[in-house]
Structure 1
């Protein structure tokens, strides 16, 4: 079995969050989804588990951070700069927040951060490894 990552995120409105992530290009895997959780697939190796607050609390007693705070920034790679811009615009058009942090353009790498409906921060980026400056 290949190594995979399942990012678990607490969400206030599961149906709205599913719609948001589908708009970004994630696909719902119904085999691992129910009324309390949705498995949203980004790639064969990357899955995001959207969990209702009640479901989240079955995994931890730690408090759910408010949408105005950041506990983690999740970065996902895209094919080009235009795809980074498009994902940011799609997030903003579907209830999220585009450019939650300033865009970064280093020539060989370009990124823009967005927040989902619950304030979870994602950084979409494109990088040209051949253009990375040598030390």
Structure 2
């Protein structure tokens, strides 16, 4: 079996969250989706499990972070700057918040952080490895 990651996120409105992630380019895997959870696929290796609060609480007794906090920032490599900008625009147009942090433009690397409707932070970025400073 290939190494994969399943990111579990608590969400307040499962249907709205599914719609949001679909607008960002994720697809739904109905095999792992029901009225309490939805599996949203980014790639063969990256899946996001959207969990209702009740479902989330069946995994842990730790409290769910409020939408104004940052428990983790999940970075997604994009093909180019335009893809980063499109991801940001799609987030802002579909219930999320674009540019929650200052735009990062280092020339060789470009990123714009967004928050989903529940405040989960995603950092789409593009990097040109050939243009990256060598540190000499």
Query: For the superposition of Structure 1 and Structure 2, which TM-score range results when normalised by the shorter chain?
Result: over 0.9
Q: Which residue of 1 aligns with 2:107?
A: 107
Q: Which residue of 2 aligns with 1:85?
A: 85
d(CA) in 1 for partners of 2:103 and 2:124?
Answer: 10
RMSD: 0.4
d(CA) in 2 for partners of 1:114 and 1:102?
Answer: 10
User: Which residues of 2 match residues 22-37 of structure 1 at below 5 A?
Assistant: 22-37=22-37
Structure 2 gaps, min length 5: none
Q: CA deviation at 1:107?
A: 0.5
Runs of 4+ in 1 over 4 A off after TM superposition: none
d(CA) in 1 for partners of 2:114 and 2:70?
Answer: 12
The number of residues matched between the two structures is: 135
TM-score, with length taken from structure 1: 0.99
Q: CA deviation at 1:38?
A: 0.2
Structure 1 gaps, min length 5: none
d(CA) in 1 for partners of 2:100 and 2:84?
Answer: 14
User: Which residues of 2 match residues 32-47 of structure 1 at below 5 A?
Assistant: 32-47=32-47
Q: CA deviation at 1:45?
A: 0.3
TM-score, with length taken from structure 2: 0.98
